[in-house]
Structure 1
Amino acid sequence: MNSRCLLVLAAALGVAVAQESFKCPDDFGFYPHHVSCDKYWKCDNGVAELKTCGNGLAFDATDSKYLTENCDYLHNVECGERTQLEPPISTPHCQRLYGIFADETKCDVFWNCWNGEASRYQCSPGLAYDRESRVCMWADQVPECRNEEVANGFSCPAPGEVSNAGSFSRHAHPEDCRKYYICLEGVAREYGCPIGTVFKIGDADGTGNCEDPEDVPGCEDYYGDLDLKTIRKSELLAGLQQDGQTRATQPKQLKPRPQKEN
C-alpha cells in the first residue's frame, strides 16, 4: 500500500514539474505562461525563471519580439486562454492589491489601488462610475445607479415651457450657485461649473454659462475667502490632492442662489 502511494505521489510531482518546465526559445526574453495570465517566464542566458505579476496585474504579451517585461491592470490585458490567476489579496476598498474598483456604496466614487493603497476619486456632479467601461458616465446610464435619484428631485420643464428650442436646456440649481441642471429629452442631470466659476442664467429661457462669480449678481461671495489666484487652475479642476484624497472645493457656507422677482 505504501509503495503504491509513493508511486502515485512521485507521478503527481513529475506532472507538476513538467507543467512548470519551460525551455527558453532565445537567450533573453519575456514569455507568457501557458495557463496563468499573471505569470510569465524570464529568460536570462537561456535560463528560465518563473515570475509573477503583482496581485491584480497581468502579463502583457503583445510584444511579438518578447523583449518587453510589462505587467498591467487586468482589465487592460487580453488573457485569451491564459485563464488562471493568483487568489485575490484584498485591502480596504481594493479587491486586489492593484486595480481600479468601484465604491461599494457610492455610485460616483471609485478607487485606484496600487500595492494595496487606495486613492479615492469622485466623478463630477451628475455622473457615476461605470464598472464595465471604467469611466464616469451619466448616472442614469449606469445600470447599478439607475434606481438612484439623478437630479435630487428637479423636474425638467414640459415641452414648450422654455423658449430655447435646442436639443437640451440648462437650468440653475435653486440653492447652489455653482451647480446647474441639463435637461436632455426630458431627463434632468445635475452638473457643476469648474472651480472658480458659478452658473449664470442666460437671457433666454433654458440657457446659461459658467462665469466668474463677480459677474453673477448674488453669487459674488460664493467662494468666500478662498484666494483662487494663488491656487493652480489644474489642481482646482482635478479636485484631488497628490495623496489621492478629495480636495474640499465647496465654500464653508453655501450661499443660496438669489431668486428672480416676479
Structure 2
Amino acid sequence: MIDFRATSQLCLEGLNYNQRAQWPEYPCSYPIDAPCLNRGASRPAKPTAECPHQYGFYPSLKATPDRCGNYRMCVEGRSLEMACPVGLAFNGVTGWCDWPEKVASCNVDGRFSVIVIGL
C-alpha cells in the first residue's frame, strides 16, 4: 500500500504469496508454506551457481546417503550450509528436516551423520 492505495507487488523469486499472512507478518513465504494452488505460476527461476532459486531450502551439495542431515539455505542466490538437528535428515521434497525413514536418499540403518559446520 502506498499513500493508502492498494498496489500490486511480486514476491521475491523463490517465494510465494501467503494468503494467510496477517499484518505485520511478511506476506511472502517458502513454497512449502504457501503453495500456488490454482493461483497461477510462480515467477521464473533465476538460478545461480549455488542455488536453483534465489530463496529456498535445498539438499546440500555435500550430501551423501550417509550424510543426509545437511542442506543449503539460499538467500539472494547465495547458499549457506545448514544442518538438521541430530537424528534428522533433510527432506528435499518437503524442504524440512524429517525422520530419516521418510527420506528416500538417506541411509536408514541408523548410522548416518551430518557435516558439522564450524561455529
Checking the alignment, whether the CA contact within 8 Å between 1:125 and 1:191 is kept in structure 2 is no
The answer to whether structure 1 residue 51 and structure 2 residue 13 are counterparts is: no
Q: Take 1:68 and 1:121, find their aligned partners in 2: how far apart are those partners?
A: 24
- Structure 2: gaps of 5 or more residues: none
Structure 1 pair 63–136 and aligned structure 2 pair: CA distance change class (3 A): closer
Checking the alignment, whether the CA contact within 8 Å between 1:57 and 1:99 is kept in structure 2 is yes
Deviation digits for residues 211-243 of structure 1 (CA, Å, limit 9, x no counterpart)? xxxxxxxxxxxxxxxxxxxxxxxxxxxx5xxxx
Equivalent in the alignment of 1:130: 91
Q: What residue identity is the alignment partner of 1:49?
A: T
Q: Secondary structure at the match of 1:55?
A: coil
- Aligned residue pairs: how many? 112
Deviation, structure 1 residue 93: 3.2
TM-score where L is the length of structure 2: 0.70
Structure 1 pair 85–124 and aligned structure 2 pair: CA distance change class (3 A): closer
Q: Take 1:191 and 1:74, find their aligned partners in 2: how far apart are those partners?
A: 28
Q: Take 2:18 and 2:42, find their aligned partners in 1: how far apart are those partners?
A: 14
Q: Name the structure with the higher strand share.
A: 1
Q: Take 1:101 and 1:52, find their aligned partners in 2: how far apart are those partners?
A: 22
**Whose radius of gyration is greater, 1 or 2?**
1
RMSD: 3.1
Structure of higher RCO (CA pairs closer than 8 Å, 6+ residues apart): 2
Checking the alignment, whether the CA contact within 8 Å between 2:88 and 2:97 is kept in structure 1 is no
State how 1:191-230 maps to structure 2 within 5 Å. Answer: none
Q: Name the structure with the higher helix share.
A: 1
The answer to whether structure 1 residue 113 and structure 2 residue 74 are counterparts is: yes
State how 1:139-150 maps to structure 2 within 5 Å. Answer: 140-145=101-106, 148=107, 150=108
